[in-house]
Amino acid sequence: EAVTHLAVLDVPLPGWTGWETTTARLWHFSFHMNRDLPERLIHGREYDYVSTFMAERFYDHSTFDPADIAIYAKAMALPGRTRGGMEWYRSLAADHAAALEYKKQPLEIPVLGLGG
């Protein structure tokens, strides 16, 4: 009742009808959902992981220079950071189930959808 407006960013969101087919194309979703495996494979290789991930995902490879990537990698290397990031992906199945329930009662407030 306290929410009067909502903005949504265009990313694959649990609860929409194409969720299952979209996650199959996004390899990192499935990889990150594995318990402990990503943490073990990424540990000590954070810079390599972040730089490869960004190179694959961003159209303009000049968006992030090596110093920017180093900042992300250093943050990811801190204790608990990689696991914390992976846990977001691990919660997606439960989020999807909850979102399907939420869809049964449409929102009665203005919603801004962002995409591009």
For residue 24, give every residue at least 6 positions away whose Cβ sits within 8 Å of its Cβ, in sequence order, or none.
30
| Residues 74-91 pLDDT 10s | 999 999 999 999 998 899
Name the pTM for this structure: 0.69
- Whether the per-residue pLDDT at 102 is higher than 70: the answer is yes
Q: What is the mean pLDDT of the chain?
A: 85
- Round to whole Å and give the CA distance between 47 and 64: 13
Spans of all domains in the chain: 27-109
Name the percent of the chain in helix, strand, coil, to the closest 5.
55, 5, 35
Location of structure tokens 């999807």: 96
